[in-house]
Amino acid sequence: MTEKEKQQAGELYNGNDAELFSERNNAKKLCMEYNATVYNDFKKKSRLLDRLLALRGENTWIEPDFFCDYGYNIIIGDNFYANHNCVILDCAEVVFGDNVYIGPNCGFYTAGHPLDYETRNQGLEFAKPIKIGSNVWIGGNVCVMPGVTIGDNVVIGGGSVVTKDIPSGVVAVGNPCKEIKKI
C-alpha cells in the first residue's frame, strides 16, 4: 500500500513521501498564483479554483490569502464564501454543503499526529475527514479539527475550536465548541 493509499484510508502514513510532497507542492503553487491574481480577475481565479479543487458548485468565492495541502480532497457546494486567510489542510476529504459562509482566519484541519512521541517522531501522521452541512455560518478565527461533522443550519461562534460533531439547527461556541441554543 502506498503512503497516499494509507492516507486516504485513514491509516498512519508518512507525509514526507515523494508522491505526497509533489502533490502538496503543486497545490501550494496554485494557491500562490490564486493569491497573487488581481482581485477582480474573476475568470482567472475561477480557472485556478477549477484546477485546484476536486469539485465546486456555483458562486464560489475565496478571498486571498487561501492555503490548502492538496486541493483534490476539497468539495464545495453552491454559494460558498470564505473570507481572508482560510486554511484547509485536506489530507482527507473536506466537504462543504450549499450556502456556507466562513469568517476570516479560519482553519479546517484533517491532519493529526500520534500522541506517542516515538511514532510521531518517525514522521507519521493520520487524516480524518471533515464535513460541513448546508446553510452554515462559521465566525472568524474558528478551527475545525480532524473528523468533525457540522450539521445543517448551524452557526459556529467566532473563536471556537470545534473538536466534536455539532448537530443540525444550533448555535455552538467556545473552546471546546458546544451547542448553546437551538435555532
As annotated, the active-site residues are 113
Evaluate whether 165 touches 129 at the Cβ level (below 8 Å). no
Query: Do residues 103 and 86 lie in contact, with contact meaning Cβ atoms separated by under 8 Å?
Result: no
Sheet of strand 107-109, all strands in order from the earlier edge strand to the far edge: 66-68, 86-89, 107-109, 143-144, 161-162
How many Å apart are CA 59 and CA 169, to the nearest integer? 24
- Give the Cα separation of 107 and 46 in Å (integer): 22
Cα distance between residue 133 and residue 62, in whole Å:
18
Neighbours of 94 (CB within 10 A): 25
